[in-house]
A and B are shown apart, each in its own frame.
Chain A
Amino acid sequence: MAEVSAIKGAAQPAKQRTRKKRSLASRLLVAGTILFLTLFVILPVANVFTEALSKGVGAYVETFYVEKPAQNANLSFRERHRIVAKAARAERTWSAIRLSCFVAACVVPLNMIFGLAAAWAIAKFRFRGRVFLLTLIDLPFSISPVIAGMMFVLLFGRTGIFGDWATNLTWPDPTSIAWQGFEGHWWPFAFTRSESGIMFTPLAIILATIFVTFPFVARSVIPLMEAQGSEEEIAALSLGAGGWRTFRTVTLANIKWALLYGAILCTARTFGEFGAVSVVSGHIDSNDTMPLRIEKLWDAYDMQAAFSVATLLSGLAVLTLIVKSVVEWKTGHTRAPEPRELELKSDEHRSAGDQQVLRLLPGTQGREP
């Protein structure tokens, strides 16, 4: 008893000392982190908003919307010219926003499908070249987006490998879809414009963005799929469920939050992608996405307008963060114990059980009589 209390007495101050030390160290670390975040994240983001509003709310709104002057307004030529220029600027900005949304609407669903397929292959099957495929999925992370864009130029550009085929390719411009009515057609929609070639068209932007954002979905789904194994799928199949039902009710239901998480990251990156898109857009105004539009405004010394468009991207980033943390919270609360944990547990119990079974085995317990 005396021995026990002596040990306790010796251990306690040491424990307190380490706790005190740790708390000082952790306080320093926390302070450093906050300082760093303030300098490199909070200040710049705040700056985006102050710059955007530096000429007042009116100027901010004018970046996106210019009110038409009244028909009978008495305006000088200079004033009219200024309004027309502003309206053109707002229209180009809107076109960039529309294109960005359109690209995201194409890229995110496609990458969800590709990412899911790749994750499925990697997590549920063992095959030759599996590790290589896993590395390949990560490739877009390690390649500079500009290089990615240039790869597409080398593939589909006029002198590229598929240059002849790509430049002669004609495809309807999906943004030009319009109502044409049922008269004489079985399908009431039609495309009013078509585009040719791949390089320097929205198609090239979509391709480049798919490449750059490919890893997000796969990467967020693979670890979960691997941890869950395929026992539940086998269980569903053994109960007579078909492949599609198994996928829908078991696989997809188990990974839906991870999938959504990947889709959110993918969306954020799609809107923010600059390098690859910059190369394949050919700097044509109609091919501008929001980051490209910001750069052009910036290059034209129109700081306030550039920052105004940037507020949209920043707002999107904040929204992404919020949705992301909600999803993280959700996934954190719905995750079941990982099989490995159970395995450990079962080994413990197994040895306990064995001890009972093998209690006649001498030497397993060093108990003295």
Chain B
Amino acid sequence: MRGINKSYGSSQALRDVNLKVSTGELIALLGPSGSGKTTLLRIIAGIESPDPGGRIFFDGTDVSATDLGKRRIGFVFQHYALFKHMSVFENIAFGLRSKPRQERPSNAAIKAKVEELLALVQLQNFAPRYPSQLSGGQRQRVALARALAVEPRVLLLDEPFGALDATVRRELRRWLRKLHDRIHVTSIFVTHDQEEALEVADRVAVMNAGRIEQFAPPEEVYERPANPFVYGFLGNFNLFHGRRDGAPRSETPSTPATFVRPHDIEILRDNADGSGIAAKVTHIGFLGSAVNVELIKLDDHQQVDAALTTQAYRDLALKVDQEVFIKLRNPHSFYEDYAI
């Protein structure tokens, strides 16, 4: 994919997007709403066309001018878009029955293929049911089977788990990962859920305001974010402006902004080596698996959020209004001029 631009009237939804996906990869397009990720997906699918000059290649062939139906893509919608009046069987068989007469498989072949797909999505006994008789997770699996029936070159999923509840969503995305490991179809999925993207994808493209900010494997995106936006979007953070104590000092004259994750803030009862920052505990939120501690730095009264493991919290025996020292682990500095 090269130089994709897309404008709606005066607003530009995509600015010069370049993306190269290898065969068999599972890619996540991650970004806040309005960042252009769905638009990009729809352009790849051929539902929308890019502004002149944008080109899309599948396996080296230019498909920019190819119709949606001839691109051989599988598209999975957030709201399933199953054919309501057709049974699960007919839904999955639709793509096979839609082929031109000379390529169309025989009824027996269609039946075998549909049964194979139903087994793949673990819905063997649901063939005669109608979509309205299925749960959300089941519907989405049918939608996936329907998309896979035509053996697509690329599988595109638009917020596939967005309409499901949290538990089903987590279950289904693990299942998707396993499924992908089995069938290895090149897949691109759109999500606004950073956890989902990091857990499922081989590589994550973080998008913002129509641009791809970073395109890298999950660990790299998380550990070495390219810019403050990526850092901020992938989790909570504390922001320290200027050259604060504990932040890495920089030789450049511009003031760095330092980002630290709440779980990378260490709380100490005493300032043994003198590098700690004095702070006061203002609130403690107990979550079971972790404890949120809100602090205020004593020097500039800036709020700092820390996340401790329950064990660390017990060892420290923190109380509200207690004065402690904090240390920053693993801080990320970005320079103001590099910020968005």
A245-B98, A353-B193 known; A342+B85 contact, CB < 8 A: no
Residue among B74, B85, B99, B262 with most chain A CB within 10 A: B85
Q: Are A349 and B164 in contact (CB under 8 A)?
A: yes
Residue among B147, B162, B305 with most chain A CB within 10 A: B162
9-residue interface stretch from A83-91, A153-161, A193-201, A233-241: A233-241
Q: Provide a sorted-by-A list of 23 A–B residue pairs whose CB atoms are within 8 angstroms.
A: A231-B79, A234-B47, A235-B77, A238-B47, A238-B71, A238-B147, A239-B98, A239-B146, A240-B99, A242-B98, A254-B85, A334-B85, A342-B163, A349-B165, A349-B166, A353-B195, A360-B236, A360-B263, A361-B262, A361-B305, A362-B294, A367-B285, A367-B286
CA distance A359 to B164 in the complex (A): 19
Q: Are A359 and B290 in contact (CB under 8 A)?
A: yes
Which residues of chain A from 329 to 352 have any CB-CB distance to chain B below 8 Å in the complex?
Answer: 334, 336, 339, 342, 345-346, 349-350, 352
User: What distance in Å separates the Cβ of A125 from its nearest Cβ neighbour in chain B?
Assistant: 14
A254-B85, A358-B236 known; A352+B165 contact, CB < 8 A: yes
At the interface, yes or no: A302 with Cβ under 8 Å from chain B?
Answer: no
A234-B81, A358-B236, A362-B305 known; A240+B285 contact, CB < 8 A: no
At the interface, yes or no: B63 with Cβ under 8 Å from chain A?
Answer: no
- Interface size range of chain A in the complex: 35 or more
Residues of B within 8 A of A237 (CB): 67-69
B-to-A contact residues, CB < 8 Å: 45-47, 67-75, 77-79, 81-86, 94-95, 98-99, 131-132, 143, 146-147, 149-150, 162-166, 169, 193-195, 235-236, 262-263, 283-287, 289-294, 305, 307
CA distance A301 to B194 in the complex (A): 82
CA distance A279 to B289 in the complex (A): 82
Of all chain B residues, which has the CB nearest A236? B94
Which residues of chain A from 217 to 234 have any CB-CB distance to chain B below 8 Å in the complex?
Answer: 231-232, 234
CA distance A237 to B70 in the complex (A): 9
Q: Are A353 and B169 in contact (CB under 8 A)?
A: yes
At the interface, yes or no: A180 with Cβ under 8 Å from chain B?
Answer: no
CA distance A231 to B143 in the complex (A): 12
Q: Are B163 and A346 in contact (CB under 8 A)?
A: yes
A240-B95, A360-B290, A367-B285 known; A353+B166 contact, CB < 8 A: yes
Q: Are A336 and B285 in contact (CB under 8 A)?
A: no
CA distance A342 to B159 in the complex (A): 13
Q: Are B163 and A242 in contact (CB under 8 A)?
A: no
User: What distance in Å separates the Cβ of A285 from its nearest Cβ neighbour in chain B?
Assistant: 48
User: What distance in Å separates the Cβ of A282 from its nearest Cβ neighbour in chain B?
Assistant: 47
Q: Are A241 and B94 in contact (CB under 8 A)?
A: yes
Q: Select one of B70, B75, B79, B286 contacting A339, CB under 8 A.
A: B79
Q: Are B132 and A231 in contact (CB under 8 A)?
A: no
CA distance A110 to B264 in the complex (A): 71
User: What distance in Å separates the Cβ of B188 from its nearest Cβ neighbour in chain A?
Assistant: 14
